[in-house]
Chains A and B, each alone.
Chain A
């Protein structure tokens, strides 16, 4: 098994808001334990508003008010040594960014500077991280990088508005991979794209991972994309991890009722039988239900679910699940 490269311990990050004199706490990331390994694509899935993006921000150490790190730690393994991220200075963090860990934000189609050509954007990135390159050397590196990823070289001379949304998305991903980082964190890179373009983006991410043999943390609520690209998947619900397993494990033997709903609600070709959505709506992160946050929507809820949050238990095959119906105190699998 590959070594762990990114690890969190009881990570808690809340938004603390002051609305008209009353304090509101949004529990976006609530005691998350993660172990992400080298050379794998780790998928994170869940409904909107379950804290996926906030989790990525804390992993990338981009915590800005009103988001606050309440507890827990994030560790990177840099050159064989584990580093605790919040202990680093601003300058040290800046050095790690893009060279060690890079981030593709959500809606990254619109992050490119609209008034300069893309090759200038590439040069900007190189300038701020690698010193002593002339303009031509920087352009040459950019061209080589674009060609290696199979994108047309003419896009370097274009302005962002001249490219389609899918192409801009792929350029942003190419930028994130420019300095060969060990970890790439991508937030919903395929959302809002057409199916054919989406397939192109998945293709690009897979190519990058295979070439660099690095780690990609991919957040998307699209279970079809997850099935296609991820090696392991974590399912998030209301700021907590509720299930984690290999992709085969999640799709072949989903244990948490929420995961089952997520998978079973997807329509499939050649099967027109009625499919049901997850009942109810996601809970508000300001006012979480007691016990297991899924219990108001769960058809199998027991008495204990309303009172106590189940632990995140490890079963065989490294399948982890947080549910009273499975393992710990439960009566075996839910039927």
Chain B
């Protein structure tokens, strides 16, 4: 099977506090997954589960404590950034924070063209920029010379996708691309990912906490909880027949736009994120409805059930 990007047991440990009260937080604990060409892979979970740390390590902003990242079978290192960033481009959460409010947005495009030597003349550059903008439903005329405040959040997010497309990347890393965009305009971004996958064969690592759009757009999904991937597999299986108790809780907590399907059960919330990170054994043991004795001190193994990876003692020994 062809793998475009592969993460091999990626671990990142952050140390907090001073010499006396040092705490080690494992932000990602042996995270392994791969992304195939022309595939949308969703990495989902609550804030503070380590999904952004994964993205930052892939993009080289953060050095992993251990483990490796392979892109097209080659190991990504700091020195070889150019081939790496040409193929992998990023889109960030806050479209208003992405662009400097005092610069016109087209300058970012010309800068990228220059950095990667994508065009020989200005006319050629404009043709390239216009082509990418048209792919996201905008055009060079309605965009050149304008400042970020002249666009809406949804438009800016599409502009940042167009900029990412300039280098003809094979993989987009999209970290919460729709969470700052109005619910009514979200679908325009998500539909765009679908279109890019189908028409240009671009793969997307879609990092989100919004399971509804993840279900809608992605092919495979990994659910992260406190640094671990607790469930991973085809999106239909993971979200329609969740196996891990945490995935079940997440799935039930999504408000459905149907007044006949209101929540009737009461839930318990985490004490603090920090306590859960330091927990030995399964990190979800404190809140799990099916908790067993061994969950509290034994780390659950990765078990394959029906083509889905589940990290839970419930499925062991079957």
Interface flag for B304 (CB, 8 Å): no
**A152 vs B271: C-alpha distance when bound (angstroms):** 9
Residue A33 lies at the interface, judged by CB distance under 8 Å to chain B: no
Is the CB–CB distance between A281 and B257 below 8 Å?
no
B4 on the A face (CB < 8 A): no
- Interface 0/1 of A232-252, CB less than 8 Å to B: 000000000000000110011
B253 touches A277 (CB 8 A): no
Interface residues on B, range: 35 or more
Which residues of B from 136 to 180 have beta carbons under 8 Å from A? 152-155
Which A residues between 235 and 272 are near B, CB-CB below 8 angstroms?
247-248, 251-252, 261-263, 265-270, 272
Q: Contact between B184 and A277 (Cβ–Cβ < 8 Å)? A: yes
Among the stretches A66-74, A128-136, A198-206, the one at the interface with B is A198-206
CA A277 to CA B192, docked complex, whole Å = 11
Supposing A223-B183, A274-B191, A277-B185 touch, asked if A164 and B272 sit within 8 A by C-beta, the answer is yes
Contacts of B187 in A (CB 8 A): 265, 267, 275-277
Q: Are A47 and B182 interface neighbours, CB within 8 A?
A: yes
| Nearest-neighbor residue (CB-CB) of B44 within chain A | A195
> Hey, which chain A residues are within 8 Å of B263, CB to CB?
199, 202-203, 228
User: For residues 182 through 199 of chain A, which have their beta carbon under 8 Å from a beta carbon of chain B?
Assistant: 194-199
Is the CB–CB distance between A268 and B46 below 8 Å?
no
Q: Is the CB of A222 within 8 A of B255?
A: yes
Instruction: Tell me which of A164, A252, A266, A276 contacts B212 (CB under 8 A).
Output: A266
Beta-carbon nearest neighbor of A248 in chain B: B259
- B 249-297 contacts with A by CB, 8 A: 249-251, 253-259, 261-263, 266-267, 269-273
A248–B262 CA distance with the chains assembled, in angstroms: 12
Chain A facing B: main interface SS: helix
Residue with the highest number of chain B CB atoms closer than 10 Å, among A200, A265, A267: A267
Residue A80 CB within 8 A of the other chain:
no
Q: Tell yes or no: B113 within 8 A of A by CB.
A: no
* B46 surroundings in chain A (CB, below 8 A): 194-197
> B47 — nearest CB in chain A belongs to which residue?
A194
B133 contacts the other chain (CB 8 A): no
Residue of A nearest to B214 (CB): A267
Q: Which residues of A contact B182 (CB under 8 A)?
A: 47-48, 221
B116 within 8 Å of A (CB atoms): no
**Pairwise interchain contact B213-A281, C-beta atoms closer than 8 A:** no
Residue among A165, A194, A247 with max Cβ neighbours from chain B (10 Å): A194
Q: Is B102 an interface residue (CB 8 A)?
A: no
- Known contacts A195-B253, A199-B267, A269 near B239 by CB under 8 Å: yes
**In the complex, what distance in Å separates the CA atom of A226 from the CA atom of B262?**
10
Q: Of A228, A275, A277, which is in contact with the most chain B CB atoms at under 10 Å from its CB?
A: A277
- Cβ of A225 and Cβ of B186 under 8 Å apart? no
Contact indicator B240/A270 (Cβ below 8 Å)? yes
Task: Indicate which residue in B188, B215, B257 contacts A224 across the interface (CB closer than 8 Å).
Answer: B257
**Do A281 and B267 have beta carbons less than 8 Å apart?**
no
A195-B183 CB under 8 A given contacts A268-B257, A281-B155 = no
Nearest chain A CB to B309 CB, angstrom units: 21
Q: Give 16 A-B contacts (CB < 8 Å), ordered by A residue.
A: A152-B271, A162-B272, A196-B253, A228-B255, A228-B262, A265-B186, A267-B213, A267-B216, A268-B212, A269-B240, A269-B251, A272-B215, A275-B187, A277-B187, A277-B188, A281-B185
4 further A-B contacts with Cβ under 8 Å, apart from A48-B153, A266-B257, A278-B184, are A162-B272, A195-B209, A195-B210, A270-B240
Q: List residues of B whose CB falls within 8 A of some A CB.
A: 46-47, 152-155, 182-188, 190-191, 209-213, 215-216, 239-240, 249-251, 253-259, 261-263, 266-267, 269-273
Query: 4 tightest A-B contacts by CB?
Result: A224-B255, A267-B216, A277-B188, A194-B46
